[in-house]
């Protein structure tokens, strides 16, 4: 499913207007079989959406600072999801700029999972939203992406078992793709 999401468009319509983002980077998570997944330890009130039917948004608050959005993609009862990591704002540029005033360039508006949700105004209120329907948050066809335009690699910031698994898919040379960061604890700097 991760590969299929590249080039698709996520649109969120609010009272302010609509912002649409063409996806350039995503990461797959294999639920209870994946130590990097929130569902690894089983179903909880927080992860219940990931165990539900595919095509729904799993929205969570990360590090007590920002929202992230995943799309549930496994069969009902089996948790799996794809994190939406980055994309290009293709509609509602002025509105996205007003939501992300710290962005220096337009390619930075949705460059990273927290920035993407800020540009789209996605919050926990959308947890469980059916993105395949006609609701305010929805996934649209976008433009197909050729296989040679896709690169695979390890997920960003994921440490431990499963960390090197190439489940991060991104568009090659796309300026909206976020910077890669190795997972795990940082080693202390040597004092000089």
Question: Minimal CA–CA distance to 116: which of 20, 38, 28?
Answer: 20
Q: Is residue 183 situated within a structural domain?
A: no
Q: Is residue 189 situated within a structural domain?
A: no
Quote the tokens at residue 72: 């549930």
Q: Is residue 155 situated within a structural domain?
A: yes
pLDDT value at 64 more than 80:
no
Q: What is the DSSP pairing of strand 168-171 with strand 17-29?
A: antiparallel
What is the domain extent for residue 103? 2-171
Domain containing 81 — which CATH number? 3.10.300.10
For residue range 81-133, list pLDDT tens digits in order.
Answer: 999 999 999 999 999 999 999 999 999 999 999 999 999 999 999 999 999 99
Domain count along the chain: 1
Q: Is residue 192 situated within a structural domain?
A: no
Question: Minimal CA–CA distance to 149: which of 21, 13, 12, 25?
Answer: 25
Which pLDDT score is estimated for 26? 96
Q: Is residue 138 situated within a structural domain?
A: yes
Q: Is residue 56 situated within a structural domain?
A: yes
pLDDT value at 188 more than 70:
no
R_g of the chain, CA atoms, integer Å: 16
Mean pLDDT of the chain: 87
Contact 102, 108 (CB under 8 A): no
């Amino acid at each position: 499913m991760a590969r299929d999401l590249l080039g698709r468009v996520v649109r969120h319509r609010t009272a302010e207007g609509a912002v649409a983002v063409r996806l350039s980077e995503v990461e797959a998570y294999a639920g209870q079989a994946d130590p990097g997944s929130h569902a690894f330890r089983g179903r909880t009130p927080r992860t219940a959406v990931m165990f539900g039917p595919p095509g729904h948004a799993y929205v969570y608050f990360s590090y007590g600072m920002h929202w992230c959005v995943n799309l549930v993609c496994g069969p009902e009862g089996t948790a799996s999801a794809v994190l939406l990591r980055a994309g290009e704002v293709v509609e509602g540029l002025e509105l996205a700029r007003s939501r992300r005033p710290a962005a220096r360039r337009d390619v930075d508006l949705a460059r990273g999972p927290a920035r993407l949700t800020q540009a789209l105004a996605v919050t926990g209120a959308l947890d469980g939203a059916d993105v395949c329907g006609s609701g305010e948050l929805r996934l649209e066809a976008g433009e197909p992406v050729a296989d040679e335009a896709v690169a695979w690699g390890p997920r960003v910031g994921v440490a431990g078992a499963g960390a090197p698994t190439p489940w991060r898919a991104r568009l090659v040379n796309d300026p909206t793709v976020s910077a890669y960061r190795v997972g795990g604890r940082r080693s202390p700097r040597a004092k000089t």
